[in-house]
Amino acid sequence: MIKVNENFCRLAPNYLFSEVARKIQTFQKANPEAHVIKMSIGDVTRPLCPSAVEALHRAADDQGHPDTFHGYGPEQGYAFLAEKICQFDYAPRGISVQPDEIFISDGAKSDLGNIGDIFSPDCVAAITDPVYPVYVDTNVMAGRRVVFLPCNEANDFVPELPSEPVDLIYLCYPNNPTGTTLTRAQLKVWVDYALASGAVILFDSAYECFITEADIPHSIYEIPGAERCAIEFRSFSKTAGFTGMRCGYTVVPHALKGVDSLGHEVDLNNLWRRRQTTKFNGASYPIQRAAEAIFTPSGRIQIRESVDYYLRNAAILRQGVTAAGLSCRGGVNAPYVWVKTPDGITSWEFFDRLLAQTHVACTPGVGFGSCGEGYVRLTAFNTLAATEMAMDRISKFKI
């Protein structure tokens, strides 16, 4: 029989969302009259903005005419979109990113999962706990050693520098699942550490558009020197409701270098370009046209409305949780509210009691890592009406 990649056998079972779904289903079966509100989902609920929809229609028409038909596109994305990203996502923050440092893809998840291809399997990965599971699982698949960086009340959810040498550092801010952020000064600690140690930071800023406070960096490249030690991942999923469209991008600066076993300097931008041109054929033309449309004046207003809608939901959730006497984080610069369970109750116990008493479903924090035990995540990705109803029920919740 064929030998398998045994690293896959070392993956921890990922039953979080299936178990949440199973428990909701069982509860609903036993209580058919109950109206369950799912505050557990991490997917957007508002439709695409009109500007993106119009661009999609126009692109579909382009594909139907010989003069405007597009076949295979550039693997790293069309220049029309890369230029807009530089112009609107970076230049206004004083960051100089060139179009050939941008790699457009079918979403941040793929890039975060694939980026490991350009690093040695010997690299040690430092990953915060709790965490978006993709970073851990893809490093386990590659056979890499993972060092966890606990984020908890003791360190105010700001990870401490690793106590042993590491090569890859995954940082996600605003954070999923905790909704917490790093200030400029806190992120600078990591950039300085990476520059001094030769580590590379993989900075996931998929939730950047939810930042409302002035001192929170939107991009790691706001920190001096980050172009020499960091790769940034961005997504149109939460920014523009593209979860079902699939589009994101990764910035690999030319200034970022690695080294081969002979000590020769290697340009990481070139390596990633080689990886993408070999294994990826680009995001589709209509999707990139739709993404481009969010940078038009009307598109920018429309996507801002959606983000503000979710932020309003997040504020409502915080209000409800606080009224119930529970403490929480997040929800100010992020669509997630991270709620501490009272009296040492486990995440799953809290989930069960909240569902039974209020018919509101949350996501048990322990599913994001052992440091998530004793917390649950609530999401702002729901309608205002459902959020208000959930808040009303949660505010009367008696543990």
Write out the residues near ligand PLP by the rule CB under 6 A.
42, 107-109, 132, 172, 176, 204, 206, 235, 237, 243, 248
Closer to ligand PLP by Cβ: residue 42 or 225 = 42
Q: Which residue is nearest to ligand PLP (CB)?
A: 107
Nearest approach in angstroms of CB 158 to ligand PLP is 17
Beta-carbon contacts of residue 226 (< 8 Å; ≥ 6 apart): 191, 201, 203, 220
Closer to ligand PLP by Cβ: residue 176 or 306 = 176
Residues in the chain: 399
Distance, in Å, from the CA atom of 124 to the CA atom of 145, rounded to the nearest integer, reads: 5
Nearest approach in angstroms of CB 161 to ligand PLP is 21
Closer to ligand PLP by Cβ: residue 197 or 243 = 243
Closer to ligand PLP by Cβ: residue 188 or 377 = 377
Nearest approach in angstroms of CB 173 to ligand PLP is 9
Nearest approach in angstroms of CB 248 to ligand PLP is 4
- Whether the bond into 177 is cis, omega within 30 of 0: yes
342 phi and psi, to 5 degrees?
-85, 160
Nearest approach in angstroms of CB 371 to ligand PLP is 16
> How many CB atoms sit inside 10 A of residue 138's CB?
20
Distance, in Å, from the CA atom of 127 to the CA atom of 135, rounded to the nearest integer, reads: 7
Nearest approach in angstroms of CB 267 to ligand PLP is 25
Give alpha helix (H) positions in the chain. Answer: 16-30, 50-63, 79-85, 108-114, 134-141, 184-197, 237-240, 268-279, 285-293, 297-323, 347-358, 384-395
> How many CB atoms sit inside 10 A of residue 85's CB?
23
Nearest approach in angstroms of CB 106 to ligand PLP is 8
Closer to ligand PLP by Cβ: residue 378 or 389 = 378
Closer to ligand PLP by Cβ: residue 221 or 336 = 336
Q: Residue 159: which of 167, 168, 171, 150 has the closest Cα?
A: 150
Closer to ligand PLP by Cβ: residue 140 or 334 = 334
Distance, in Å, from the CA atom of 225 to the CA atom of 221, rounded to the nearest integer, reads: 8
Q: Quickly tell me which residue has 């993989």 as its tokens.
A: 202
